[in-house]
């Protein structure tokens, strides 16, 4: 797979990146080099390799799924500049 100037222009437009016409040719070369590298990765034999989410084998500790916080509304609202009916109050910003 390779890209041309038209494709780079479209990608830049979709990404909302301003690219001048003199920057197109170098970007075409860079993107084609990246795509060649990705194609080389697809040639690697990964049969028998287990999928993994990390290079380090880590097992996360399990905990019971229970609520361990809460009941602190009054203490939290005590720090607020204003509160009403158990909620923060903020100034109106749209007139």
Number of domains in the chain: 1
Do residues 28 and 35 make contact, with C-beta atoms less than 8 angstroms apart? no
b/e sequence 47-62, b meaning 16+ C-beta within 10 Å: eeeeeeeeeeeeeeee
pTM score: 0.50
Asked if the structure places residue 50 within a domain, the reply is no
Coil, helix or strand at residue 63 = coil
DSSP state letter for 93: -
pLDDT for 29 equals 94
Asked if the structure places residue 38 within a domain, the reply is yes
Asked if the structure places residue 36 within a domain, the reply is yes
pLDDT for 16 equals 96
Q: Which structural domain range is residue 24 located in?
A: 5-42
Asked if the structure places residue 24 within a domain, the reply is yes
| Per-residue tens of pLDDT for the chain, all 95 residues | 789 999 999 999 999 999 999 999 999 999 999 999 999 998 899 898 888 877 887 888 888 888 777 788 888 899 899 999 989 999 888 86
Asked if the structure places residue 64 within a domain, the reply is no
**What is the number of alpha carbons within 13 Å of residue 81 lying toward its C-beta?**
3
């Amino acid at each position: 797979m390779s890209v041309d100037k038209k494709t780079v222009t479209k990608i830049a437009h979709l990404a909302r990146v301003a690219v001048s016409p003199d920057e197109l040719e170098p970007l075409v070369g860079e993107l084609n080099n990246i795509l060649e590298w990705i194609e080389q990765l697809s040639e690697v034999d990964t049969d028998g390799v287990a999928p993994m989410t990390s290079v380090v084998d880590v097992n996360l500790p399990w905990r019971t799924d229970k609520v361990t916080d809460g009941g602190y509304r009054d203490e939290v609202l005590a720090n607020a500049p204003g509160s009403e009916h158990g909620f923060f109050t903020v100034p109106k910003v749209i007139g």
